[in-house]
Amino acid sequence: MCSVQIIKSGYFDSLQDLGRIGYSSLGIPVSGVMDSISAKMANALVDNNLNCTVLEMTLIGPKLLFQKDAIIAISGANMNPTLNGKPLQMLTRINVNKRDVLSFSHTKFGCRCYLAVNGGFKAESVLNSFSFANGITKKNQLINNDILLLDERTAIHKANNSHIKFNRHFFETPILDAFKGPEYDLLSEKQKEFLKTNIFQITLNSRMGYQFKAASSLSHSHEIFTSSVMPGTVQLTQSGKIIVLMKDCQTTGGFPRILQLSEKSQSILAQKNTSQKVSFKLNKIFL
């Protein structure tokens, strides 16, 4: 099987598809791409099934050596991609030849970048998914000299000029659409208003979840039984700290679930970095 060699790994590189669906009852995280919208666009550009495995890169990208001709597309955060030292355009089908070197650097904007290859990357399938996950797959992060396998049928036709128009607003908007969570009504009317009208600063960013600076106005004494959670669930600690669970999150939690983010909002948040700020816009249908 043909391959791509990681000459130098990035900050955090992993293989991800759309996730491991249907195993939450066993305590197994969904995992999968953090920004599903960007990943799907990259797969669409190279004629892949939208669930094909892509390379997800965080903050700083890797340097890759292709050992076979391929067709690629890059989406998400702009990590200044180059092919043999020449700048590449995002969201465009690109021909890559055997022995070409594809390089990424620091992000110009956004947090996570996606590389799709026609035919998809191949990895160990665990519970119907190729997504890396700590404790589930043999590895959860790629390192120097790792080999990424490609389908033998990759690049059986040449790339055309297909591209998707880039919308910077997706990365710049601070607004996250959300629905009421099961414990939303535990909040006082004053707390609900505070939640809807204030901005919140990110203090921690990981595949497990995003945390925000605690707000004393949201502190509470409510306790709930451990209940099911999922990616996009917004929890509120007693100290008033907001936690948004992401793709590698646990399947149960004991903090009030005050909101649930839409898939689009999860993707928008996945492109935010520490110190950036967001606000929550509640869907009026559910208020």
- Which H or E run includes 169? helix 169-172
Do 55 and 124 belong to one domain?
A: yes
Q: What percentage of the chain exceeds 90 in pLDDT?
A: 87
Tell me the pLDDT tens digit for each residue of 18-69. Answer: 999 999 989 999 999 999 999 999 999 999 999 999 999 999 999 999 999 9
Query: Rounded to an integer, what distance in angstroms lies between the CA atom of residue 167 and that of residue 67?
Result: 33
Identify the domain boundary among 125, 152, 169: 169
Looking up residue 249, the CATH number of its domain turns out to be 2.40.100.10
Residues 179 and 83 both lie in one domain: no
The answer to whether residues 7 and 79 belong to one domain is: yes
The reply to whether 58 and 194 lie within a common domain is no
Whether 209 and 146 map to the same domain: the answer is no
The answer to whether the CB of 221 falls within 8 A of the CB of 205 is no
227: its two tokens: 């209940």
Q: How confident is residue 157, by pLDDT bands cut at 50, 70 and 90? A: low
Tally the residues of the chain: 287
| Residue 30 φ/ψ, nearest 5 degrees | -65, -45
Helix axes 263-270, 36-45, angle to 10 degrees: 90
Q: Six-digit token pair at 273?
A: 């970095």
203 & 98 share domain:
no
Judge whether residue 173 has pLDDT over 60: yes
Residues 106-125: tens digit of each pLDDT: 999 999 999 999 999 998 89
Q: Is the pLDDT of residue 158 over 70?
A: no
C-alpha closest to that of 278 among 174, 157, 192, 160: 174
Using alpha carbons only, give the angle 264, 270, 271 rounded to the nearest 5 degrees: 100
Q: Is the pLDDT of residue 286 over 50?
A: no
* Continuous segment of H or E residues that includes residue 171: helix 169-172
Are residues 194 and 93 both part of a single domain? Answer: no
Same domain, 157 and 282: no
* DSSP three-state, residue 76: strand
Q: What integer is the mean pLDDT of 271-275? A: 96
User: Percent of the chain beyond pLDDT 70?
Assistant: 94
Please give the average per-residue pLDDT across 269-284, as a whole number.
93
